[in-house]
Amino acid sequence: MVLTEVEGRAAQIALTVGEGETVEGATQQALQALGLESSDALDSLLLTLLQMTGTREPAGFSQALALVAGLDPRNTVQAMLAGQMAAVHLATMRAASNLGRTTEAGAVAMHTKALNNLARTFALQADTLKRLQGAGGQRVTVEHRHYNLAPGAVSGAGGVVLGDVAGGGARDEVER
């Protein structure tokens, strides 16, 4: 997809169709690449990326779209998060550029704070996307517990009674 023309507030986004390809096939490829389920969701994401880039230059839109596709979203929620991550990344790079050009102490502090906040936001978003994509790994919780045994719970042979001591009725097993 390429942003081909911007006039006022109207933009035209062209879907490049290869030889022997149909528009429907190319749209399906775009949906699959961006993890979307409908052409309405595709339109919404593209419009959002166009507005987010805040530029009239096709390169900014293409860059944002490439960032989203590169994150390999697998569904609409992940695609929306990838769009947010693209916006935060581009803003982070702008803040870093502004910081590099600034010498005034107040402006340096402002750009440093913005850069720090944006970088931390991106890290949290990356962690969230990782968990949504199932790459968070397995989590094992180890708990240390103390058990107070009831009188008579230990047999004369040193075994421990397993089961409900107060249950009565059935004979409990003894582990030796």
Q: What is the residue-averaged pLDDT of the chain? A: 79
* Residue 154 confidence (pLDDT): 64
Name the region of 20 (left: φ>0; alpha: ψ -120 to 50; beta: rest). Answer: left
pLDDT, tens digit, 9 for 90 and up, residues 140-153:
788 877 777 666 66
Nearest to 129 by CA among 171, 85, 98, 65: 85
Confidence band of 127 (pLDDT split at 50, 70, 90): very high
Q: Does residue 128 surpass a pLDDT of 90?
A: yes
| pTM score, whole prediction | 0.65
Confidence band of 159 (pLDDT split at 50, 70, 90): low
pLDDT, tens digit, 9 for 90 and up, residues 80-99:
999 999 999 999 999 999 99
* Residue 3 confidence (pLDDT): 46
Give the HSE-up count for residue 131: Cα atoms under 13 Å, Cβ half-sphere. 8
**DSSP state string for 107-138:** HHHHHHHHHHHHHHHHHHHHHHHHHHTT-S--
* 9 vs 116: which has the higher pLDDT: 116
pLDDT, tens digit, 9 for 90 and up, residues 35-68:
999 888 988 888 888 888 765 667 778 888 889 9
Tokens linked to 8: 């006022």
* 19 vs 32: which has the higher pLDDT: 32
